[in-house]
Amino acid sequence: MYMLRHSLACIGLKCAGGRVQRVFFIRGRDINVSPTDSGCESISGVLDSLNRFLDGEDVPFDPAVLDFRLCTGYQRGVLRVVMGIPRGSTMTYAEVAGAAGGGPRSVAGALARNPFPLIIPCHRVIRSDGKPGGYQGGVDLKVRLLEMEGAHFKI
């Protein structure tokens, strides 16, 4: 496991076979967990990109470093749509469902299990009423990310 400590969030990354398998938010007492080296060649670039992203830069992430094998076929389709949402823009769960298939609740479920938050910007998906909706990193972080990117939404 690798760890990135930033003022906005503490993030863990799990790698295997040279690819990122999971990005997750570390909270509470788990924040003191010791990172371990698991042999991911591309990790330094990913960590640098995540740090720059959290600093407010418009950073493109390369999906080739991500291991999608643990995702369902439906989830991969949803994540592909979400990868295309530009910085400063949002889509509603219903709009993502229209592009990926399924319904808004199935999209919300797929994004709740997004193994690559921040890299695949599920924080850019909001409710149909314009409010942020839920987020793995917490609603406060979702609001801060959307504000940092200049996106329009309701609080």
Same domain, 76 and 136: yes
Look up 40 and say whether it is catalytic.
no
Q: Are residues 81 and 30 in the same domain?
A: no
pLDDT for the residue numbered 155: 85
CATH of the domain at 141: 1.10.10.10
pLDDT 10s digit of each residue in the chain, 155 long? Answer: 899 999 999 999 999 888 999 999 998 755 555 555 555 667 888 999 999 999 999 999 999 999 999 999 999 999 999 999 999 999 999 999 999 999 999 999 999 999 999 999 999 999 999 999 999 999 999 999 999 999 999 98
Place of tokens 């979702």: 142
**Structural domains counted in the chain:** 2
The CA distance from 143 to 155, in Å, is: 8
Tell whether 49 and 100 lie within a shared domain. Answer: no
Shared domain check, 101 and 48 = no
pTM: 0.91
State which of 64, 80, 111 marks the end of a domain.
64
How distant is the alpha carbon of residue 118 from its chain centre? 3
Q: Who contacts 12 (Cβ-Cβ below 8 Å, separation ≥6)?
A: 1, 2, 3, 4, 22, 23, 24, 25, 26, 33, 35
- Do residue 48 and residue 118 come from a single domain? no
Instruction: Give the per-residue pLDDT at 35.
Output: 53
Q: Which of 10, 15, 71, 122 is catalytic?
A: 122
Structure tokens at 40: 């991911």
Residue 86 CB neighbour total at 10 angstroms? 11
Residue 155 is assigned to a structural domain of this protein: no
Contact (CB, 8 A) for 139 and 132: yes
Give yes or no: residues 86 and 141 share one domain: yes
Q: Diameter of the chain by CA atoms?
A: 44
What pLDDT sits at residue 36? 56
